Structure 1
Amino acid sequence: MKLGDPNISMEKLNQAKILMEEEGIDTWLILTREGTDPSMPLLVSVRSVHLAAIFIRANGEHIVLTSASDFGSYEATGLFTKVIQYDSSVDEKFIDTFESLNVKKLALNVSESDHLCDGLTSGLYEWLSDRIGNEKLGEIEVSSEKILKQLRSVKTASELQLVKKAISLTNEIYEYVFQQVKPGMTEIEMGNIFVKEMKRRGVTNGLGNAFDLPMVCSVRNGLAHRKPGDFKVQPGDIVIFDFSLRYENYVSDIARTIYFLEQGQTAAPKDIQHAFDSAVKAIKETIQFMKPGHKGFEVDAVGRQVIEDNGYPTIRHSVGHQVGRDTHDGGTILGPKRVPKRPEVEGVLEVGEIYAIEPTVIQDDGLPCILVEENVVMTEKGAELLSVPQNELILIPSE
């Protein structure tokens, strides 16, 4: 089954060759079946039904051992020097192929902290150990985590264009939604506007099922990553949208906040406006601070400090995260240091990474909450906005 664009997979495999050479890794082995390994859509663009053994080689001569039913899918990608078919059992051909490669350093998809780098199941690890021996495996195995994180994080030019298109479509849909929402609508009714517009454009939700509703929260009824409910929006309500759109396997992640004016109002109350201004200031200062080489926790501290300095509780989540094939795309996270240690917040920002920036005003008991989320790409000079920023609170008139 095809999962993506083989041309992008070729770009990623070319990146992998360079990274493997830098780390002294001659062979990277991916063992997968029934879609068990999350690196497959990125690297190979095929979903194996049966067990497949994929040898990614630093010399570019990639090999796959595959069943008869999956053979055509792998061959069609054009990614492999050899596509070797096995019949009832892969064992003999696996051992022959492995021994012929004279592997010195073998990368495997194992990670203690990043699920996107932890695709090798315990059962397949035992299978591998049985085939080549515990002692031999112990001598040559290393984690692929470092190179896989970089491959997911640093986008190629083709990947960046697809994310930009997802962001552009997200902006379009938001503009339409703002024209359609009105007092008396439920959260579900507002969410269904997004679904209708996704279907009209031939795209899907980037998070969850294809046509799930995005997050739609009237603050009066509690701010959380919850499903929209039958709560009817009233004048005086703050409503937050958090929407991820998937375009050709790449996603956006943008959040917006609107306010429903009460009768006679021409602006939001001061406490709501102050909360909004604080969130936007935190976003701007975070983006301004972001430079290649800064660590994730250092960036988090900037946005977090702005929120706290403006009189609000500290943010309950990270200030930002990466976006790409997934809405939360692994790699470096713009989050605080914690115990136990989180390796992802110790990561450094690199050119080509795409981040969602979301320092949020979160309060309980119906007090003003604001979520604005922007998407940026890292360049040599710093973070460059990809989304059209929300600099003003969107005001919906009463009827």
Structure 2
Amino acid sequence: MTVARAQIVHEKLEAAVKLLDLHNVDTWLILTREGYDPSLPFVTDNLPKDKTTIFINKSGLHQAIVSKEDYEAFQQTEVFSDVITYDEQMDEVFLKVFHTIDPQKLALNISLYDHLYDGLSLGLHHWMEQLIGPLKLQQIEVSSEPILQQLRCIKSKAEIEAVKRAVTHTTDIFEEAFRKMRVGMTEKEIGELFVDGMKSRGVTNGLGKPYDLPLVCIVRCGLAHRKPGDHKVKPGDIVIVDFSLRCEGYVSDIARTCYFLKEGEIEPPEDVQKAFGAALEAISRSINALRPGKKGYEVDAVGRACIEEHGYPTIRHSVGHQVGRATHDGGTILGPRRTPPRPQVEGEIQSGEIYAVEPTVIQDNGLPCMLVEENVLVTEHGPEVLSKRQLQIITIPYEGVN
């Protein structure tokens, strides 16, 4: 485990103990096979090979039950007061530790709304129910979602630094790619510029496989969350790139829009500049509204209203979402209110959360579309933009057509 990762685990465990006390929960239990649970990286950097149980206790003394094959890796973390092994079956060891702890309230990773908090499989829940007894488990189990949501969404100091490093790599790769883009390149070829940038820095894609292409869309060919194709860039094209990068387990999510100048042009045409201006104003207003205590839907309404005031269709997606260990990191979403209400957009924005803010101009039939996405840290003193902002549409010079 690197020093940075060790610091993150230390900070998250410290936060977890405080959250257990706040929610009057004795123990948070992570029960997983082969590291399936999304919450596992907050308490250990290890990816278990076998069935594993971790008890995070309000007392601050934590236990892990692991296979003999996983023992050494867990012991070396120095996170757990006790690392216990089992042979072929965990049942007897689990019951012994469970009865020693004797939790009156046990938080399990189950959620109706978010996969990031729903790490306990039905099969493992049934296994535990058979061991403890259905009545006993029913009396003590609660969902860990309120605890996990706070733990995941409110970033520690070391996590914020990790996201900042991911953001810096991302903006640097964007700048390199824009210098290399040319008329005649396909969407796939533009995407490969970003893969080259990741490989040269030892980082990976934040979405999908490690070296998947980012989203690259020539607006003329349709704006959608689609894979880059063989469409070739022509003079006068608007190209949008939406790129998420993973560095040290934490991600960025940044989008940029560029315009390929036609022969004789020194700047984009008026309709393109007008659309970019609307997107820029909407993101500036949204960022300014991103303050502790605001509801997710309130910030969404600010960006959405700005796009509509400029005469463009309403945004087809949410104005923003959280980033962290995942590109869509759960918790409060900057989205519109609907019926029935969505808990995610009713949530309050909190200091320490990081949002990708992306109010977008979207039009059909090849009309100008603009996507600018910035990553923003919420603080008590106001929003802090972590990414190097795009304040004007990026232009790619005309160099003739091959």
TM-score (norm 2): 0.97
Unmatched segments (≥5 aa) in structure 2: none
1-structure distance, mates of 2:33, 2:49: 6
Q: CA deviation at 1:371?
A: 0.3
Any idea what SS the aligned residue of 1:7 has? Answer: helix
Asked whether 1:357 is paired with 2:383, we answer no
Tell me the amino acid that sits aligned with residue 376 of structure 2: V
Match of 2:389 in 1: 389
User: Are 1:11 and 2:14 an aligned pair?
Assistant: no
User: Which position in structure 2 is the counterpart of 1:179?
Assistant: 179
- Equivalent residue for 1:157? 157
Could you tell me which runs of 5 or more consecutive residues in structure 1 were left unpaired when the two chains were aligned.
Answer: none
CA distance in 2, matches of 1:5, 1:64: 19
Q: Residue in 2 aligned with 1:341? A: 341
Following superposition, the deviation at residue 6 of structure 1 comes to 3.1
Q: Secondary structure at the match of 1:258?
A: strand
Could you report, residue by residue, the CA deviation over 1:246-287 in whole angstroms, capped at 9, with x for unpaired residues? 111111111000001111111211111111100010000011
CA offsets 1:176-218 (integer angstroms, 9 cap, x no match)? 1111101111111111111111111111111111111111100
Q: Which amino acid aligns with 2:275?
A: A
Counterpart mapping for 1:274-285 below 5 A: 274-285=274-285
Distance, in Å, in 2 between the alignment partners of 1:73 and 1:260 is: 52
How far did 1:7 drift? 2.8
Tell me the distance in 2 between the aligned counterparts of 1:225 and 1:75: 43
- Any idea what SS the aligned residue of 2:216 has? strand
Q: CA deviation at 1:113?
A: 0.6
**Residue identity opposite 1:122 in structure 2:** L
Q: Which residue identity is paired with 2:284?
A: K
CA distance in 2, matches of 1:225, 1:41: 28
Q: CA deviation at 1:347?
A: 1.1
Question: For residue 293 of structure 2, what is the aligned residue in structure 1?
Answer: 293
CA distance in 2, matches of 1:341, 1:118: 21
The residue type paired with residue 88 of structure 1 is: E
Shift in Å, 1:341: 2.6
Structure 2 match to 1:83? 83
Write the letter of the residue equivalent to 1:207: L
1:128 aligns with 2:128: yes
Query: In structure 2, what is the Cα distance between the partners aligned to 1:201 and 1:30?
Result: 34
Distance 1:115 1:360 in 2: 26
Amino acid at match of 1:283: I
Counterpart residue number, 1:378: 378
The match for 1:100 is: 100
CA contact 2:13–2:42 (8 Å) conserved in 1: no
- Do residues 232 (structure 1) and 224 (structure 2) align? no
Which letter does structure 1 place at the counterpart of 2:75?
A: E
| Cα displacement (A) at 1:339 | 2.7
Classify the secondary structure of the residue corresponding to 2:199. helix
In the TM superposition, residue 289 of structure 1 has moved relative to its aligned partner by: 1.2
Write the distance in 2 (CA, Å) between the matches of 1:87 and 1:112: 34
Q: How does 1:188-207 map to 2 (within 5 A)?
A: 188-207=188-207
Return the letter of the residue paired with 2:135: E
2-side partners of 1:289 and 1:354: how far apart? 14
Partner of 1:21: 21
Letter of the structure 1 residue corresponding to residue 319 of structure 2: V
Task: Tell whether 2:268 aligns with 1:268.
Answer: yes
SS at match of 2:193: helix
2:109 aligned with 1:109, yes or no? yes
Aligned-partner Cα distance in 2 for 1:138–1:294? 36
Partner of 1:62: 62
Q: Is the 8 A contact 1:6 1:79 kept in 2?
A: no
Structure 1 Cα separation of the partners of residues 337 and 122 of structure 2: 30
Deviations 1:104-151 (A, max 9, x none): 110000111111000011111111111111111111111110110111
> TM-score w.r.t. structure 1 length?
0.98
CA contact (8 A) 1:16 1:151 kept: yes
Give percent identity, aligned residues only. 56
Q: Displacement, 1:35?
A: 2.3
* SS of equivalent to 1:95: helix
Q: Structure 1 residue runs of 4+, over 2 Å off?
A: 4-7
1:340: Cα distance to partner? 3.3
Q: Distance in 1 between matches of 2:9 and 2:82?
A: 16
**Deviation sequence 1:20-68 (CA, Å, 0-9, x none):** 1011001111100022211112222222221111100011110011111
Computed over aligned residues only, the root mean square deviation of the Cα atoms, in angstroms, reads: 1.3
1:32-47 residue pairs with structure 2 within 5 A? 32-47=32-47
Structure 2: how far apart are the matches of 1:308 and 1:128? 53
